[in-house]
Protein backbone atom coordinates (compact mmCIF):
# COMPACT_ATOMS: atom_id res chain seq x y z
CA UNK A 1 0.00 0.00 0.00
CA UNK A 2 1.49 3.33 -0.95
CA UNK A 3 1.98 5.84 1.79
CA UNK A 4 1.72 9.51 0.96
CA UNK A 5 2.12 12.91 2.48
CA UNK A 6 0.50 16.14 1.26
CA UNK A 7 2.83 19.05 0.62
CA UNK A 8 2.54 22.58 -0.70
CA UNK A 9 4.23 25.97 -0.47
CA UNK A 10 2.94 28.70 1.79
CA UNK A 11 1.48 31.52 -0.31
CA UNK A 12 2.89 34.35 1.80
CA UNK A 13 6.40 33.08 2.34
CA UNK A 14 6.92 30.29 -0.16
CA UNK A 15 8.02 27.88 2.58
CA UNK A 16 7.64 24.19 1.97
CA UNK A 17 4.85 22.93 4.21
CA UNK A 18 3.20 19.60 4.97
CA UNK A 19 -0.40 18.85 5.86
CA UNK A 20 -0.99 17.68 9.43
CA UNK A 21 -4.55 17.37 10.68
CA UNK A 22 -5.97 20.47 9.06
CA UNK A 23 -2.96 22.70 9.55
CA UNK A 24 0.32 23.18 7.71
CA UNK A 25 3.60 22.29 9.39
CA UNK A 26 7.21 22.99 8.46
CA UNK A 27 8.66 19.53 8.92
CA UNK A 28 7.77 16.28 7.22
CA UNK A 29 8.21 14.27 10.40
CA UNK A 30 5.05 15.97 11.72
CA UNK A 31 2.98 15.33 8.60
CA UNK A 32 -0.08 13.11 8.34
CA UNK A 33 0.61 9.93 6.41
CA UNK A 34 -2.14 8.79 4.05
CA UNK A 35 -2.46 5.19 2.93
CA UNK A 36 -3.70 4.46 -0.59
CA UNK A 37 -6.20 7.09 -1.79
CA UNK A 38 -6.79 8.55 1.63
CA UNK A 39 -4.96 11.77 0.77
CA UNK A 40 -7.46 12.86 -1.88
CA UNK A 41 -9.81 14.81 0.42
CA UNK A 42 -6.89 16.67 2.01
CA UNK A 43 -5.60 17.55 -1.45
CA UNK A 44 -9.00 18.87 -2.43
CA UNK A 45 -9.18 20.90 0.75
CA UNK A 46 -5.73 22.36 0.07
CA UNK A 47 -6.73 23.34 -3.44
CA UNK A 48 -9.68 25.13 -1.89
CA UNK A 49 -7.32 27.24 0.24
CA UNK A 50 -5.69 29.36 -2.45
CA UNK A 51 -4.88 32.19 -0.05
CA UNK A 52 -3.05 29.85 2.32
CA UNK A 53 -1.01 27.51 0.12
CA UNK A 54 -0.05 27.16 -3.51
CA UNK A 55 0.68 24.11 -5.65
CA UNK A 56 -0.40 21.34 -3.24
CA UNK A 57 0.41 17.78 -4.28
CA UNK A 58 0.82 14.31 -2.79
CA UNK A 59 4.22 12.67 -2.56
CA UNK A 60 5.09 9.03 -1.97
CA UNK A 61 6.84 8.31 1.29
CA UNK A 62 8.31 5.29 3.03
CA UNK A 63 8.63 5.28 6.81
CA UNK A 64 12.16 5.12 8.13
CA UNK A 65 13.03 5.44 11.79
CA UNK A 66 9.66 7.01 12.45
CA UNK A 67 9.94 9.66 9.73
CA UNK A 68 7.89 9.53 6.50
CA UNK A 69 10.81 9.82 4.13
CA UNK A 70 10.04 10.87 0.57
CA UNK A 71 10.74 8.17 -1.92
CA UNK A 72 11.77 10.57 -4.68
CA UNK A 73 15.14 12.21 -4.49
CA UNK A 74 13.73 15.56 -5.50
CA UNK A 75 11.21 15.50 -2.65
CA UNK A 76 13.99 14.66 -0.23
CA UNK A 77 15.92 17.74 -1.29
CA UNK A 78 12.72 19.74 -0.90
CA UNK A 79 12.22 18.40 2.62
CA UNK A 80 15.82 19.12 3.56
CA UNK A 81 17.16 22.23 1.89
CA UNK A 82 20.06 22.81 -0.53
CA UNK A 83 22.49 19.91 -0.15
CA UNK A 84 25.47 22.22 -0.50
CA UNK A 85 24.29 24.39 2.40
CA UNK A 86 23.62 22.13 5.38
CA UNK A 87 23.24 25.31 7.43
CA UNK A 88 20.19 26.44 5.47
CA UNK A 89 16.64 25.23 5.30
CA UNK A 90 14.78 22.60 7.24
CA UNK A 91 17.86 20.39 7.60
CA UNK A 92 19.37 23.02 9.85
CA UNK A 93 16.20 23.34 11.94
CA UNK A 94 15.71 19.65 12.66
CA UNK A 95 18.99 17.79 12.52
CA UNK A 96 17.53 14.45 13.58
CA UNK A 97 14.87 14.46 10.88
CA UNK A 98 17.44 15.54 8.30
CA UNK A 99 19.78 12.69 9.25
CA UNK A 100 16.98 10.12 8.88
CA UNK A 101 16.05 11.45 5.44
CA UNK A 102 19.65 11.54 4.28
CA UNK A 103 20.32 7.95 5.36
CA UNK A 104 17.08 6.39 4.20
CA UNK A 105 17.13 3.71 1.55
CA UNK A 106 16.86 4.17 -2.26
CA UNK A 107 14.65 6.45 -4.34
CA UNK A 108 12.29 6.11 -7.30
CA UNK A 109 10.18 8.34 -9.51
CA UNK A 110 7.77 10.46 -7.54
CA UNK A 111 4.17 10.18 -8.63
CA UNK A 112 3.57 13.57 -7.07
CA UNK A 113 6.09 15.21 -9.33
CA UNK A 114 4.76 13.48 -12.42
CA UNK A 115 1.29 14.75 -11.58
CA UNK A 116 2.67 18.27 -11.26
CA UNK A 117 4.22 18.08 -14.70
CA UNK A 118 0.99 16.77 -16.22
CA UNK A 119 -0.96 19.62 -14.68
CA UNK A 120 1.31 22.14 -16.33
Partner 1 sequence: MPSAIYQYDAIDSAMLADRVAEFRGQVARRLAGELTEDQFKPLRLMNGLYLQLHAYMLRVAIPYGTLRSPQLRRLADVARRYDRGYGHFTTRQNIQFHWIKLKDAPDILEALAADDLHAIQTSGNCIRNVTADPYAGATADEVDDPRVWSEAIRQWSTFHPEFSYLPRKFKIAVTAAPKDRTAARAHDIGLQLRRNREGELGFEVMVGGGQGRQPFLAPTIREHLPVRHLLSYLQAVLRTYNRHGRRDNIHKARIKVLVAQLGAEEFARQVEAEWAATDKAAVDLPDTELARIRGAFRIHPFEPRRGPSPAFETAKAADPAFARFVRNNVLAHKVPGYAIVNVSLKAPGETPGDCSADQMDAVADLADAHSFGEVRVTYQQNLVLPHVPLDDVPAVFAGLQAIGLATANIDLASDIIACPGLDYCSLANARAINIAQDIAGRFALPERAEAVGELKIKISGCINACGHHHLGHIGILGVDKKGEEFYQLSLGGSGEEDASLARILGPALSGPGVVDAVERLVDAYMGRRLDGERFLDTYRRLGAEPFKEAVYADAHPA
Q: Which residues bind partner 1 (CB under 8 A)?
A: 9, 11-16, 50-51, 54-55, 71-74, 77-78, 81-85, 88-89, 106-110, 120
Give the Cα separation of 8 and 59 in Å (integer): 10
- What gap in Å lies between CA 56 and CA 104, rounded to an integer? 24
Shortest distance (Å) from residue 20 CB to partner 1: 19
Burial of 96-119, coded b for 16+ CB within 10 Å and e otherwise, reads: ebbebbeebeebeebbbbeeeeee
Please state the closest distance from residue 12 (CB atom) to partner 1, in A: 5
Is the CB of 19 or the CB of 76 nearer to partner 1? Answer: 76
Q: How far is the C-alpha of 76 from the C-alpha of 103, rounded, in Å?
A: 11
d(CA 110, CA 96): 24
- The least distance separating partner 1 from the CB of residue 33, rounded to whole angstroms, comes to 20
Pick between residue 23 and residue 109 the one whose CB is nearest to partner 1: 109
- The nearest distance, CB 106 to partner 1, in angstroms, is 8
Amino acid sequence: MTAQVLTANGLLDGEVVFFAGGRWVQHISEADVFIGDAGAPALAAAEAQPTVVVAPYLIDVAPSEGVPVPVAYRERVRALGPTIHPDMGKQAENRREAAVIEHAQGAARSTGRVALIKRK
